Structure 1
Amino acid sequence: MAGNFSKRISFDGQATLAVILPQMRKDGMYYEVNIKGFPRFFMTWSAADRYDTVAQEGLKLPYNLVLAVSDAIEEEVKRNK
């Protein structure tokens, strides 16, 4: 399993640092995502053929942020193959 990683991501004209922690669970790989100014959230591979957020009560994130984090995770996974 890959280790924790951080990635500078850009969305809606903003650049910020995302700290991402991979977690292997019984139903697959999940990624805990920590970004200053946003609540911690989790992502996993989805039926949409990309990484997507795991349903969490009250979680509201900009869609472009979700896409940017998805791209960052996918890039890291490909780099570590």
Structure 2
Amino acid sequence: MTIAQIEGRVRGAGSELVLACDLRFAARETAIFGQIEPAFGLLPGGGGVEYLIRVMGRARALEVLLSADDYDADFAERYG
């Protein structure tokens, strides 16, 4: 079992690493999540698409990937 403790920004490969963990705990004040590859016209290469779908479902994962926005810990918790 792998557990991630997030206290800052996790984007791109960092986000994919965190998504691959079994449990994720994020600091509400400082944790920021994001998949920035789509902003550059790229697909996440480390399994980000598959992990996002597994964690939050297809529709929400598509929304997160297409927006390339940053999300705080409260928003990420609501999305799964």
Q: Higher relative contact order by CA 8 Å / sep ≥ 6: 1 or 2? A: 2
**TM-score, normalised relative to structure 2:** 0.24
Structure with the largest fraction of helix:
2
Structure with the largest fraction of strand:
1
